[in-house]
Amino acid sequence: MPRYPPPISPDMGAGAELRRALLEFGTGPLLAEMPRRTLADKGIAGPTAAHVIEELHTPLNLAYTTFTTGTTAFQTPVGVTWQELPDRAAAGVRALERCGVPRGAELLVTYPPLVNVFSRQALEEYGSKARFILRPSRDALLAELCSGARFVVGESSFLRAALQDAHRLGLSRELPENLVLIAAGTPLDPELANEAARLPGARVHDLYGCQEFGWLVLDGAPLRSDITLCWDPEDADRHHLLVGGLPTGDCFRLGAHPLNPEGAICTNTKVRSSLELETTLLAGNVSSRETALRTARTILRIKSRIVRVSPEYVCGAERTRLAVGPPGGPPLLELEGPEATRMLDTLAQAQRQYQRQAKTDPVWRKKC
């Protein structure tokens, strides 16, 4: 197997001397010196049947990268900035608290990428650690439940099927009492709560969120203060959910959540909107319109959300103002910061930081 770097031959002359100097005094990193972020570093070192583990060069200004699940189309790459982590982690901690998970408890996660929605920072702040089923299969989950796993995060139909397996195989008595099942990643399976009700003290929670923005709603109640609902002009009974002024692309009915009468957002009724709303920036606390345009491009690239900048955009405003509406149509609502536009403002902050401290590679010069 070839060595890296290859050995220096004495007869290489000037090239050998330059190479020796580079190894001792060069400013750029060697491959072995580059920082690395493994699956274990992200807290997602578990098996799935739908992925390949691939190393890639991730820009330093991103805390980590992940992918959407690709429910209706190809999976979308997602970038999570360092500036987002505090709010993202706080929402994850709030979700665990409301679910009654004790601090320091171990979470069994059936689908490792769900940890990316929390972020590893959230689990570390909570003093908890995620572990994963041995294989992505129902019998693997059943084995963990029969071994005492009490706090479980997973897709609701997968959880429901595992409980049905336990009942059918006569293993229900082997499952722990006071089981906490946190259904996440897909709309709540209506039979999951019924299956859980057959177990002593078992509870079910409905956790909604996405890879782009983290966890957003638990049992119908928002986990963030910048959640806004906007009526759907194509279906008056449904409402688009926005986070910090950015549409998630999902619509819900309002009422009493089946697991929480005080939760008004019925996340169990989630449908993907056929009407893709767009955000238009009207004013913001940036020094130039160019920075606002770059922020819009950044959001498109790492969050796949369309943001436009009004021709009358006001720079240096005390608060962000924006409008949300269908492409080319009248706005459905206007929002003013700081609270209602927190997510967008956080991404604008990340863009400003990137412009001030962008890390570039001297071997790649790209003219703008």
Per-residue pLDDT tens digits for 111-164: 999 999 999 999 999 999 999 999 999 999 999 999 999 999 999 999 999 999
When comparing pLDDT for 182 and 2, which is higher? 182
**Res 3: pLDDT:** 53
Beta bridge partner(s), residue 230: 240
Q: Strands 278-283 and 307-314, how do they pair?
A: parallel
When comparing pLDDT for 273 and 194, which is higher? 194
Distance CA 53, CA 36 (A): 14
DSSP H helix total and E strand total for the chain: 10, 17
**Res 15: pLDDT:** 82
Residue 8 has pLDDT above 80, yes or no: no
Distance CA 320, CA 302 (A): 21
Instruction: Take residue 123 and report the two structure tokens written for it.
Output: 């689990």
Residue 229 has pLDDT above 60, yes or no: yes
What is the rounded average pLDDT for all residues in the chain? 93
**Res 363: pLDDT:** 75
Per-residue pLDDT tens digits for 74-86: 889 999 999 999 9
Contact indicator for 350, 81 with CB cutoff of 8 Å:
yes
Per-residue pLDDT tens digits for 264-273: 999 999 998 8
Residue 7 has pLDDT above 90, yes or no: no
**Res 6: pLDDT:** 54
Contact indicator for 320, 344 with CB cutoff of 8 Å:
yes
**Res 366: pLDDT:** 64
Closest Cα to residue 93, out of 55, 120, 54, 53? 120
pTM beyond 0.85: yes
- For residue 266, CA distances in Å to 9, 161, 255, 343 come to 70, 23, 6, 22
**Res 365: pLDDT:** 66
**Strand boundaries in the chain, DSSP class E:** 62-67, 77-81, 106-109, 129-132, 151-154, 180-184, 203-210, 214-218, 221-222, 227-232, 235-243, 246-254, 265-272, 278-283, 307-314, 321-325, 333-336
Terminus-to-terminus CA distance in the chain, angstroms?
41
Closest Cα to residue 121, out of 92, 101, 99? 92
**287, 290, 295, 297: CA torsion to nearest 10:** 180
Closest Cα to residue 291, out of 367, 354, 359, 224? 354
